[in-house]
Amino acid sequence: MKVTVLGKYGPFPSAGGNCSGYLLEGDSTKILIDCGNGTFSQLQKYINYWEIDAIILSHLHMDHISDCFIVHYAFESAMALGKRQTPLYIYTLTEPYDTYSLLGHKDVVRTKPIDPYDNIKIGNFNFSFYPTVHSKLCCAIKAKYNNKVLVYSADTEYFAGLVDFVRGCDLFICESNFISQDLSLGSSNHMASFQAGQLAREGQVKRLKLTHLHPEKPEDIVLSEAKAEFKDAELVSEGEVIEI
Ligand SMILES: [Zn+2]
């Protein structure tokens, strides 16, 4: 399984940065996990966009979905030019419904509703989901391929229920939108990086990568606080390709 980090920021990007998006590849299967702003441009550095098998959205906050709306135009063009014959499917939660209802486009981009405990198969990948603690309904995503397991936390607070979901995975890509000081000040809906480290340690994951970084939080503090809990924690970088 190959994971390419297309965007690492949330809830808005730094200058020249991008929001959440991860390209998963295994043999001929190509799946985009989240489609935040900037990620569709980044995607085209690595593959022909019309070759994506599907998009899976963790939740319907704009920093995870906003490029879906220009994907409409791209796939309309790809169909018209004969580069693509079949619709692109977006697997997504249906809440909030007003946002969900905007994700499909004509007969070129269609939606497939998922629920927070679903198991689905796309190409060579098996996916399962787990509801997180966030301000909107949101799912952590587990991808299995060739006996390798990736877990992506999506957006969430720390909660003990995630430990079993991440347990023993080969790669855990975990949000770290906060530093410890934010929690002291009462911030909610996201994790501080030390909690990502704590989850990784408790779940005995093989590798931890920190993502969904806030552009105004110092990355050295994000990393050092995570390392205090899980010494091999690493920050993702945009354009990074991770083989597992
Ligand atoms: Zn987010």
pLDDT tens figures, 169-201: 999 999 999 999 999 999 999 999 999 999 999
pTM, to two decimals: 0.97
What's the chain's average pLDDT?
A: 97
The DSSP secondary-structure symbol of 9 reads B
Domain ranges of the chain: 2-243
What sign results for the dihedral spanned by CA atoms 238, 151, 56, 219?
A: negative
Please name the amino acid found at residue 122. Answer: I
pLDDT in tens, 8-64: 999 999 999 999 999 999 999 999 999 999 999 999 999 999 999 999 999 999 999
The amino acid sitting at 237 is S
Residue 184 CA to ligand 1 center (angstroms) comes to: 20
Domain 2-243: which CATH number of 3.60.15.10, 3.40.630.10, 3.40.50.12280, 2.20.25.90 = 3.60.15.10
pLDDT digits (tens, 9 = 90+) for 206-228: 999 999 999 999 999 999 999 99
If 0-12 CB within 10 Å is exposed, 13-18 middle and 19+ buried, where does residue 17 land? middle
Distance 151 CA to ligand 1 centre (A): 16
Tell me the residues surrounding ligand 1 (ion) with CB < 5 Å.
Answer: 10, 63, 155
H or E stretch at 194 = helix 193-202
| Cα 94 to Cα 60: distance, rounded to the nearest angstrom | 8
What is the per-residue pLDDT across 233-243, written as a single tens digit (0 to 9) for each?
999 999 999 99
- Quick one: tokens of 4? 């390419």
DSSP state for residue 67 in the 8-state scheme: T
From residue 181, how far is each of 96, 113, 166, 178, 186 by CA, in Å? 31, 37, 25, 8, 9
User: Cα of 57 to ligand 1 centre, how many Å?
Assistant: 11
What distance in angstroms lies between residue 34's CA and the mean position of ligand 1's atoms? 10
